[in-house]
Chain A
Amino acid sequence: MAAAPGRGGIHRDGRAAYLFLAPALLFFCVFLVLPFLFAVVLAFSDWGGFDLGTIEFAGVSNFADVLRFDGSFVRPILVNTLLFAVGSVTLATFGSVLVAYCIDRLSFQGFWRVLYFLPVVATVVAIGNVWKMMYQPAGLINGVLNKLGVNSIGFLSDSSYALPAVTVVHAWASIGGAVLILTAGLKAIPEMYYEAAEVDGANSWRMFWQITLPLLRPSLLFVLITQFIGGLQSFALIIVMTTDGGPVNSTNVAAFEMYQQAFKFGAWGTASAMAMVLFVIILAITLLQLWIARRRGEETS
C-alpha cells in the first residue's frame, strides 16, 4: 500500500524518486539546459568569446544577418545541410531495409550484422580518411573508373560532386546502426502473417510490401527521425574529408559553419543565431515526421 502524502504534498516515495532522479536532472541542467539558455542569450548578443564581460545586446541583428538571402547561410549552407541530411537518410534507410531484410533470410545472421555494424564502431576520422583516399584522383574509385574507360572525377575537389560524395559516405557509415534496429523490428513481426500470406499464394515481393514494410513502420520511423536529426547536426565527417567545407562552400553545413563562426572568427552571436535557426528547423521536421506517423496510427513512444 502506498504511503500517505505528507503535508508538503510530496510523499516519501516521491521524495526518494526525485532524489534518484536528481543526478540525471543535474547533469541534464548543467550540460544541456544551461548551454541552451546561454546560446539563446548569445543569439541576441554580440560577443567575441573569451571575456563574458564583453557580451553586448544586439537585438535581432544576428538573425537578420544569418537569414539574409544574399548571405551564405541560407544558400548554400542550409540547403547543403538539408540535402546532406535528406540524401544520407534516404540512402541509409533504403540500404538498411534491404540489408536487414536480406540478413533476416541468411544463415550466420550475427556475423552479417557485425560486418555491417563495423562502420558504426569505427571512428569518423578513420572512415573519413579511408574514403578520402579512395576518392583521390589516383585513388581506388578513380582507378576502377579509369579501367572502365571513364576519366578521373575530382570527387572532393569538384564542387558538383563533393556534397554527394560525402553524403554517400555518411549514409554508408549509418547503415549498421539502422540495420540493428530494423532487424529487431523484423524479428517482432509474427511468422503467422507470412504463413497465411503463403497459403493465399502471395509472392515474396507482395509479402515484403504488404506485411514487412507496414509492420516495420514503427522501427522505420525511429530510424528516420534519429538519422535525420543526426544528418542535420553532422559535421565531423565533413571536416575530415574536406577540411573546410569546400570546395567553394559546396560541403559546408550549418554545424560546421557555426563552429567556424564561433571558434575561428570569434562571432559567437552569429554562431548562436545559426544554432537557433537549425534548432527550429530540426524541431519542425521532427514534429512533422511524428505528426505524419500519428496520422497513420503509429505508436511512437
Chain B
Amino acid sequence: MSVTALSSPELAQRQPNWLVRLFDYKPFLVTMCLAPAIGLLAVFLTYPLGLGIWLAFTDTTIGRKGIFIGLENFQYLLTDPLWWNAVFYSVVYTAIATFGKFALGFWLALLLNNHFPFKSLLRAIVLLPWIVPTVLSALAFWWIYDPQFSIISYLLVDVLHWRTSNVDFLGSPWPARFSLIAANIWRGIPFVAISLLAGLQTISPSLYEAAMLDGASAWQRFRYITFPMMMPILAIVMTFSIIFTFTDFQLVYAITRGGPVNSTHLLATLAFQRGIAGGELGEGAAIAVSMIPFLVFATLFSYFGLARRKWQQGEAND
C-alpha cells in the first residue's frame, strides 16, 4: 500500500508490528473477513444441501448408513398417495395464502399510507403477529379453533345464533385446511403490509398530483400509478413469501401435525414425519428435495412474471 508508506513518522513508529502489516495486506484481510461467514455457510448450508441431495438417492435410516439406490425413493413417492396429497395441499396452501396475504397486506399498506394520528404506533402494533414466535401464536389459533370451546363457535352459536352447532374446525379435511391457511394469512399480513408500505412511500406524490390534474379517478390512479410502480417490490416480496409459505412447517406441525387423516400435510411436515420421526432419512430427504423444483418454478414465475410486466409498461429505466 503506497498510501501507508506516506504516513506520519510517529504512527509508523508505533505500529511496525508484522501482524498489523499483515492485516493491511488486502487479499489477507479480505480472506480473514470472509472466512467466518463463508465457513459457517459452507459447513452448515452448502455441505448439508449436497448431503441432502445425496441422501435422497440412498436408503439411509437413522443408525444405519444407506447405500445408493438411484431414483427408487422418487419412484416410490410417485406411487405414494400421501406424497401426492402433500404436493396438492402445499400448492393450494401456498396459492391461497399468498393471494390472501398480498390482497389484504396491500390493502393494509394503502390504509397505513394515509395520514392519521398515532401512525407510527399503529405500524408498530400491526407488526406484532410477525414478531411473536409462530408456534406460540399458532397455539393461540389452536385454542381459537378448539372443537368445544372455540371462541368463533361461541360467537356464531350463542351470540349471533347463525349456527346451531359448534364448527368443527380441525376435525375434517377441508375445514382444517382452510383453518391453517387463515392462520398463515394472519401471520403474513404484517410483513407484506410493511414491505409494501415502504414501496408506496417511494412513489413521488407529484405523479398523483399530475394524474389528479388530468382528472384521473382514485381507481385509475391506483391502476396506472400505484400498481405499476409497486411491481418490482411486489415481485421481490412475493418471491420470498412464496418460498417461505411453500416450505412452511411450524404452523401445520403446531396446529394439526398433518391430520386429520393426513389431509393437511405439507411437504415439509411429511418429510419430518418420514425422515426424523419415522427414521427413514433417505425417504425424508427425497421428500425435502422434491420441494426444490416447485421452489425454482415458483421463484421464476413470481419474479419474472412480475418483473416482465414492469418491462411491458416501459419502466425499464429506473
Interaction A to B: no
Binding site for B on A (CB under 8 A): none
Show the binding face of B for A, using Cβ within 8 Å. Answer: none
